[in-house]
A = this chain, B = another copy of it.
Amino acid sequence: MSDVTRAPVAVVGGTGPQGRGLAYRLARAGHPVVLGSRDAGRAAEAAAELRALPGVTAPVDGAANEDAARGAETILLAVPYQGHAELVASLAESLAGKVLVSCVNPLGFDKGGPYGVPVPAGSAAEEAAALVPSATVVGAFHHLAAPLLLDPEADLRHEDVLVCGDDADAKARVLALAADVTGGRAVDAGRLRLAAQLEPLTAVLISVNKRYRTRSGIALTGLPSTAEKEEVA
């Protein structure tokens, strides 16, 4: 593990279930984490809760989103798509020169269940990249169920984290983080524009969850097994 990936990771939207879940798994793997929230007080409360969970060895702190982003080289964006553009634009200065990991799933729900919301930029990840050209955007962590991330007993090694991006160094950093989150495989899924496929796929998983009363996730077939993950990630 390089020094870069042991630098603090910020989680913007860190008080939501997905953000807290990712932060928990990162902290358990030894990454210092700063939870960001619009409300620094709520972020501090959520950080205190995470510190009390089993296996957390790294520091977990809370801050306002902008301060969290400012202090990190890698920022996970774990927010709802609603309000996404405004939030990203408001953080532009603190994201400049950083690796921004978009975990955003633009989804809608109606009486027919979940569906992918069309995004003019193609995907939330590409929208963020257009809003903050000085940041390097990578897409990842779209498919891990928050309740599993937050369950200390849940083994996530069989879940694949699909990572997309156009910058090889940034993608390598996120692939390493992703393997730490699950203890399993991280897969280079290709170019950033494929976030347009990865993000709304979550609608399918939510649909399957309802039908089969489970927490589904994605694994790819045809790749080396988890035991051989180093060859993949």
Name A's B-contacting residues (CB within 8 A). 112-116, 145, 158-159, 162, 164, 187-191, 193-194, 196-198, 200-201, 203-205, 207-212, 214-223, 232
* Interface majority SS (helix, strand, loop, mixed), chain A: mixed
Rounded to whole angstroms, the CA-CA distance of A221 and B218 in the bound complex is: 6
Closest residue of chain B to A188 (Cβ to Cβ) is: B211
Pair A200/B196 contact, Cβ less than 8 Å = yes
Distance in angstroms from A37 CB to nearest chain B CB is 29
Pair A197/B194 contact, Cβ less than 8 Å = no
Closest residue of chain B to A220 (Cβ to Cβ) is: B216
Pair A194/B204 contact, Cβ less than 8 Å = yes
Closest residue of chain B to A189 (Cβ to Cβ) is: B204
Pair A191/B113 contact, Cβ less than 8 Å = yes
Rounded to whole angstroms, the CA-CA distance of A139 and B196 in the bound complex is: 20
Q: A115 with B219: in contact, given A201-B201, A208-B187 (CB under 8 Å)?
A: no
Distance in angstroms from A198 CB to nearest chain B CB is 7
Name the B residues within 8 Å of A211 (CB-CB).
Answer: 188, 190
Pair A217/B222 contact, Cβ less than 8 Å = yes
Name the B residues within 8 Å of A223 (CB-CB).
Answer: 208, 212, 214, 216
Pair A218/B218 contact, Cβ less than 8 Å = yes
Name the B residues within 8 Å of A215 (CB-CB).
Answer: 222
Closest residue of chain B to A162 (Cβ to Cβ) is: B204
Name the B residues within 8 Å of A164 (CB-CB).
Answer: 204
Pair A203/B208 contact, Cβ less than 8 Å = no
